């Protein structure tokens, strides 16, 4: 290669090297960018801690429909699964035999009343005669006894007629309570008898229902002693844990301890106006766990888990955030209940944890939840 060409190439390489060095030097001298984060202040609050326990729905009242007289079912007077009112007719048994018996009993009553009238006339006729010794005392006593017997016969005949009248009314089977009636066990033409083993149908009153739950007896006893259980309200969740909007009152008068397990059955009375809770349905019941207690709360987003342990990043003055291990409880209103590891007033990072660099300070600003921003935007 010619000397002049070599010198030209070497000069170009030197200039290029100087240019690259000039471009790289500013970036090497720049300080790392400060991470921007948002923080929330740990708040002290009085919170009612709760337990979610499985429960089962029980009808408030159940009435089995059974005939009080025997006979052939002529008609079914209700729609299966419908709401019925107390006193509404449900089944019609053929009333003809009972009406015939009633007519016979009424005739017997009239005959007894006629006999009584005749006996009373006889006593009235003999009474003045006995005073002048026109008749014997024995004849008068016999007339009085005949009147007493006639009075008794009238009473028996009247009772028999009333019983037959009841049989006629019992031929129409009515609902003893209001509620939802289930499937009918018989159809038209079925022969039913008084005292049969099987019910014709069943009515469940479910405008109010009981929900039974089981838990250790000591827990509910503590709740009752604390005073919070006297009017303790429970929340009803569906089987998946979603709120149903229904609440009930815990009935301490219904507490029963199972001797085999030591668990206590608690019963809650729940208003069920829409009939969404059906007997036999499994639900979850949110029960108060003791009286309200003072705790610390932080936003749910501020807590993260490492190795199965709950942690949060706490701001300490102007220095780098420190990682703090927490003892957490349940989530209440989108906030973790912190049982230990955090004091009221401390600042915890909510957003921007992934931008934080080790041992470096951050630029922090207050965090605003979406729940607070949305109403303001709507206004």
Model pLDDT, residue 228: 52
CA dist 270 and 249 (Å) reads: 7
Q: Are residues 89 and 187 in the same domain?
A: yes
Task: Say whether pLDDT at 147 is over 70.
Answer: yes
Task: Say whether pLDDT at 359 is over 80.
Answer: no
Q: How many CA atoms lie within 13 A of 210 on its CB side?
A: 16
Q: Are residues 145 and 158 in the same domain?
A: yes
Q: What three-state secondary structure class fits 15?
A: helix
> Residue 233: which of 47, 46, 50, 45 has the closest Cα?
50
* 199 vs 1 pLDDT, higher one: 199
Model pLDDT, residue 15: 47
Among 6-10, 127-131, 154-158, the range of highest mean pLDDT: 154-158
Q: What three-state secondary structure class fits 78?
A: coil
Task: Say whether pLDDT at 16 is over 80.
Answer: no
Q: What is the CATH number of the domain that holds 89?
A: 2.40.50.100
Model pLDDT, residue 378: 47
CA dist 343 and 366 (Å) reads: 18
Model pLDDT, residue 32: 63
Task: Say whether pLDDT at 5 is over 60.
Answer: no
Of 36-50, 114-128, 302-316, least confident by mean pLDDT is 36-50
Model pLDDT, residue 241: 87
Task: Say whether pLDDT at 138 is over 80.
Answer: yes
Q: What is the CATH number of the domain that holds 365?
A: 2.40.420.20
Expressed as residue numbers, the domain containing 344 is: 35-47+293-370
CA dist 355 and 349 (Å) reads: 11
Q: Are residues 307 and 283 in the same domain?
A: no
Q: What three-state secondary structure class fits 13?
A: helix
What is the chain's length? 379
Q: Are residues 87 and 178 in the same domain?
A: yes
Which residue is listed with tokens 């979406």? Answer: 370
Confirm whether 181 is domain-assigned: yes
Mean pLDDT for all residues in the chain: 84
Task: Say whether pLDDT at 26 is over 60.
Answer: no
Task: Say whether pLDDT at 18 is over 70.
Answer: no
Q: Are residues 148 and 258 in the same domain?
A: no
Helices (H) and strands (E) in the chain, counts: 5, 22
CA dist 259 and 127 (Å) reads: 76
Confirm whether 280 is domain-assigned: yes
Q: Which token pair is 371?
A: 């729940």
Q: Are residues 124 and 221 in the same domain?
A: no
* 286 vs 373 pLDDT, higher one: 286
What's the pLDDT band for 59 if we cut at 50, 70, 90? very high
- Split into its structural domains, the chain has a count of 4
Which residue is listed with tokens 């690259």? Answer: 20
Among 11-25, 124-138, 154-168, 247-261, the range of highest mean pLDDT: 154-168
* 50 vs 77 pLDDT, higher one: 77
Rounded percentage of the chain residues whose pLDDT exceeds 90: 53
Q: What is the CATH number of the domain that holds 273?
A: 2.40.30.170
Q: Are residues 87 and 176 in the same domain?
A: yes
What's the pLDDT band for 357 if we cut at 50, 70, 90? confident
For residue range 270-293, what is the model confidence (pLDDT) as tens digits? 999 999 999 999 999 987 776 778
Q: Are residues 194 and 73 in the same domain?
A: yes
Q: Are residues 361 and 324 in the same domain?
A: yes
For residue range 206-223, what is the model confidence (pLDDT) as tens digits? 999 999 888 777 766 666
Q: What is the mean pLDDT of residues 364-372?
A: 75
């Amino acid at each position: 290669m010619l000397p002049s060409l070599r010198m030209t190439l070497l000069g170009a390489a030197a200039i290029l090297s100087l240019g690259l060095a000039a471009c790289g030097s500013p970036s090497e001298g720049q300080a790392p960018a400060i991470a921007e984060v948002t923080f929330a202040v740990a708040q002290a609050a009085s919170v009612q801690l709760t337990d979610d326990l499985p429960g089962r729905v029980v009808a408030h009242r159940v009435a089995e429909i059974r005939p009080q007289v025997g006979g052939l079912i002529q008609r079914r007077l209700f729609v299966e699964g419908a709401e019925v009112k107390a006193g509404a007719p449900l089944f019609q048994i053929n009333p003809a035999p009972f009406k015939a018996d009633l007519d016979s009993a009424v005739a017997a009553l009239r005959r007894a009343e006629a006999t009584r009238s005749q006996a009373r006339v006889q006593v009235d006729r003999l009474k003045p005669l006995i005073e002048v010794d026109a008749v014997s005392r024995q004849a008068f006593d016999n007339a009085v006894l005949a009147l007493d017997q006639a009075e008794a016969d009238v009473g028996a005949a009247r009772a028999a007629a009333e019983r037959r009248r009841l049989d006629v009314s019992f031929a129409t089977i009515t609902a003893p309570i209001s509620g939802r009636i289930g499937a009918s066990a018989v159809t038209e033409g079925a022969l039913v008898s008084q005292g049969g083993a099987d019910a014709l149908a069943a009515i469940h009153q479910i405008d109010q229902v009981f929900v039974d739950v089981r838990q250790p007896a000591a827990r509910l006893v503590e709740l009752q002693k604390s005073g919070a259980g006297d009017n303790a309200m429970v929340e009803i969740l569906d089987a998946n844990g979603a709120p149903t909007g229904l609440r009930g009152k815990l009935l301490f008068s219904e507490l029963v301890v199972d001797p085999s397990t030591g668990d206590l059955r608690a019963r809650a009375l729940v208003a069920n106006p829409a009939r969404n809770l059906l007997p036999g349905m499994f639900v979850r019941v949110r029960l108060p766990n003791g009286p309200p207690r003072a705790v610390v709360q932080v936003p749910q987003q501020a807590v993260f888990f490492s190795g199965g342990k709950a942690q949060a990043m706490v701001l300490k003055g102007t220095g780098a955030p420190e990682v703090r291990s927490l003892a957490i409880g349940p989530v209440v209103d989108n906030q973790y209940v912190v049982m230990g590891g955090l004091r009221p007033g401390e600042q915890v990072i909510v957003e921007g944890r992934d931008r934080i660099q080790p041992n470096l300070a951050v630029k922090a600003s207050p965090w605003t939840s979406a729940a607070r921003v949305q109403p303001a935007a709507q206004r």
